């Protein structure tokens, strides 16, 4: 008997997916199923938090080249 | 604030999210293929992987009803 699991399908490029996997690695609290290079299913209730965390990581990685490049 | 908006836009382009249901744990390829085909026919299929026998749909009610009707049909047939 197949199972139907509620969740959010996330489509993104592999680099973003790698970041999501890393965020999930701490507590395994976001990902329901890792589908392929560009798709994964996450818990619906965790989507806002994951977006926040992703933004933080993206902000961190983008500030560094900006700081070194501006002056 | 401007930075935050910019980041949000970048993220929005790179990441698309769709609420729905993941169907998995199919015991037979035939059962997977039949249901996956049906999901595609009614236009709710978003993603599938034949090797993993998994697919993601935006709505599950009709798909679940179809699965049930198939099971009943099989039972009636013997």
A62 found inside a domain = yes
Which pLDDT does position B77 carry in this prediction?
77
Q: What is the DSSP string of B24-46?
A: E--S-HHHHHHHHHHHHHTT-EE
Which pLDDT does position A45 carry in this prediction?
96
Cβ distance A36 to B49 less than 8 Å, yes or no, reads yes
- Tens of pLDDT, residue by residue over B22-56, are 999 999 999 999 999 999 999 999 999 999 999 99
Q: In chain B, where are the structural domains located?
A: 18-77
pLDDT mean across residues, chain B = 88
Cβ distance A8 to B26 less than 8 Å, yes or no, reads no
Give the domain range for residue A17: 8-70
Q: Is B76 on the interface with A (CB under 8 A)?
A: no
Tokens (6 digits) for B69: 């009707």
Q: pLDDT-derived band of residue A71, with 50, 70 and 90 as boundaries?
A: low
- Which residues on A lie below 8 Å from B31 (Cβ)? 2
- Which residues on A lie below 8 Å from B74 (Cβ)? none
Which pLDDT does position B9 carry in this prediction?
61
Residue B11 in this model has a pLDDT that exceeds 90: no
Cβ distance B22 to A33 less than 8 Å, yes or no, reads yes
Which pLDDT does position B1 carry in this prediction?
62
Dihedral of the CA atoms B33, B16, A47, B32 (nearest 10)? 0
ipTM value > 0.85: no
A3 found inside a domain = no
Burial class (CB in 10 A: 0-12, 13-18, 19+), A28: exposed
Query: Where does residue A24 fall: left (phi above 0), alpha (psi -120 to 50 degrees), or beta otherwise?
Result: alpha
Comparison of pLDDT for A44 and B3, the residue scoring more: A44
**Span B1-27, average pLDDT:** 77
- State how far residue A13 is from chain B, nearest Cα, in angstroms: 6
- Tens of pLDDT, residue by residue over A44-61, are 999 999 999 988 888 887
- Which residues on A lie below 8 Å from B20 (Cβ)? 6-9
Q: What's the rounded Cα separation, in Å, for the pair B69 and B75?
A: 10
A53 found inside a domain = yes
- Tens of pLDDT, residue by residue over A12-39, are 999 999 999 999 998 889 999 999 999 9
Cβ distance B64 to A16 less than 8 Å, yes or no, reads no
Among B10, B23, B47, whose Cβ lies nearest the Cβ of A58? B10
Domains in chain A, number: 1
Looking at residue A47, which CATH number applies to its domain? 3.30.70.1220
Instruction: Name the one residue in this structure whose structure tokens are 């009709």.
Output: B62
Q: Which CATH class is domain B18-77?
A: alpha beta
């Amino acid at each position: 008997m197949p199972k139907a699991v509620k969740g959010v399908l996330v489509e993104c490029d592999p680099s973003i997916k790698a970041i999501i996997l890393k965020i999930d690695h701490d507590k395994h609290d976001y990902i329901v199923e890792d589908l392929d290079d560009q798709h994964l299913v996450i818990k619906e209730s965790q989507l806002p938090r994951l977006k926040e965390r992703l933004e933080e990581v993206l902000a961190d990685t983008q500030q560094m080249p900006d700081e070194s490049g501006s002056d | 604030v401007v930075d935050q908006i910019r980041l949000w836009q970048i993220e929005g382009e790179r990441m698309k999210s769709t609420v729905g249901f993941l169907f998995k744990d199919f015991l037979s390829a035939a059962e997977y293929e039949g249901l996956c085909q049906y999901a595609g026919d009614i236009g709710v299929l978003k993603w599938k992987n034949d090797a993993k026998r998994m697919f993601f749909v935006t709505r599950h009610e009709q798909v679940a009803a179809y699965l049930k009707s198939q099971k009943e049909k099989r039972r009636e047939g013997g």
